[in-house]
Copies of this chain bind each other. A is one copy, B any other.
Amino acid sequence: MNYRITIQYDGSRYNGWQKQGNTKNTIQGKLEDILSRMTKEEVEVHGAGRTDAGVHALGQTANFHLKEKWDPKQIKEYLNRYLPEDIEVTCVREASPRFHSRLNAVEKVYVYRIGTEGRKAVFRRKYRYLYPGRLDVKAMEQASASCIGTHDFKSFCANRHMKKSTVRTITGITFTEEDKDILITYTGNGFLYHMVRILTGTLLEIGAGMRRPEEMKLILEGKNRALAGKTAPAQGLTLLKVRYGDEDEI
Interface of A toward B, CB cutoff 8 Å: 8-10, 56, 58, 77, 80, 85-88, 90, 118-123, 125, 127
Contacts and interface: CB of A to CB of B under 8 A. Distances in A.
B122 A86 contact: yes
A216 B247 CA distance: 53
Nearest to A120: B88
Q: Which 5 A-B pairs rank lowest in CB-CB distance, beginning with the nearest?
A: A88-B120, A8-B122, A88-B122, A10-B122, A85-B125
Contacts of A127: 123
Contact of A85 (B58, B77, B118, B122): B122
The interface residues of chain A, by DSSP majority, are classed as: mixed
A57 B121 CA distance: 12
B123 A10 contact: yes
Contacts of A122: 8-10, 85-88
A236 to B, nearest CB: 14
Nearest to A121: B88
7 contacts: A8-B120, A8-B122, A58-B123, A77-B118, A85-B120, A85-B122, A88-B122
B8 A88 contact: no
Contacts of A10: 122-123, 125
A58 B121 CA distance: 10
A8 B118 contact: no
A189 B121 CA distance: 28
A81 to B, nearest CB: 9
A224 to B, nearest CB: 36
Contacts of A119: 88, 90
A80 B125 CA distance: 14
Contacts of A58: 123
Given A8-B120, A8-B123, A88-B121, 14 more contacts: A8-B122, A9-B122, A10-B122, A56-B123, A58-B123, A77-B118, A80-B120, A85-B120, A85-B125, A86-B122, A87-B122, A88-B122, A90-B119, A123-B127
Nearest to A9: B122
A121 B80 CA distance: 11
